[in-house]
Amino acid sequence: MKYLGLLDAEALGRAMPMIRSRAAARLNARNDPAPAGIRSTIPASAVSLKHEEVAHIGFFTTRAYELHHPLLGGGQSPLVRREVFMATDAAIVLPYDPQRDRVLMVEQFRMGPFGRDDPLPWMLEPVAGRVDPGETPAEAARRECREEAGLTLNRLERIGGHYASPGCSTEYFHCFIGICDLEDGAAGLSGGLDGENEDIRCHLLSFDAAIALLETGEADNGPLIVSLLWLARERARLRASA
């Protein structure tokens, strides 16, 4: 009902896959909250929502909120006005071959760096993609590896989950290392799926070369940095069990 009067039938049909994915992400958040061993256990139900509206709807959606929230020291905040970028859950997976001790990264043009006026808006990243409704994050990770890199994973090692930018976005990343065979032929161009306007190059890097990207700063996005740091911590175990 939030979109009533905002979209005609044709536009609503185009938007429906993302609407469903955002709804699935909200269910994931409600059903699988992170632990609260240190942070406050004040529930979301304690927030007094005064007004909510769809500020923008396209492929992505922005919502505007007016609310009061409980203060950590007691009492209520003044009226807070915020806009939130409504995104979906995504599966992030860095393919790793423990026998050859190398990883696969994908390179593609990214609108975020382009919109920030970054002179080099092509990024090195793990394989990533939206978690579709009815799909688990692990299933999405395996599917995206097939679609983007032509890889079949032997198993998944879960890194964890995290919000991409909790101050302004609902986007949530489910992160994995994908154990697989990375033969020399895995590198090169991959078109991704027809109809998704994907232009992807796959890169094979030794573990040492991949870690060096942290030192040079060429690893400049959160998913890649998190994945490489986790792999550095767990690499010996993964290689010993290969």
Are 191 and 201 within 8 A, CB to CB? no
Q: 57 with 3: CB under 8 angstroms?
A: yes
The answer to whether residue 196 is catalytic is yes
Contact 54, 40 (CB under 8 A): no
Q: Dihedral angle at the C-alpha atoms of 7, 9, 11, 16, nearest 10 degrees?
A: 100
Tell me the C-alpha distance between 233 and 198, whole Å. 32
Q: Which of 84, 105, 50 is nearest to 163 (CA)?
A: 84
Taking CA atoms, 84 is separated from 168, 169, 172, 207, in Å, by 5, 5, 13, 37
Question: Pseudo-torsion of CA 160, 166, 169, 175, nearest 10°?
Answer: -10
Which residue in 196, 198, 215, 218 is the catalytic one?
A: 196
Residues with a catalytic annotation lie at 196
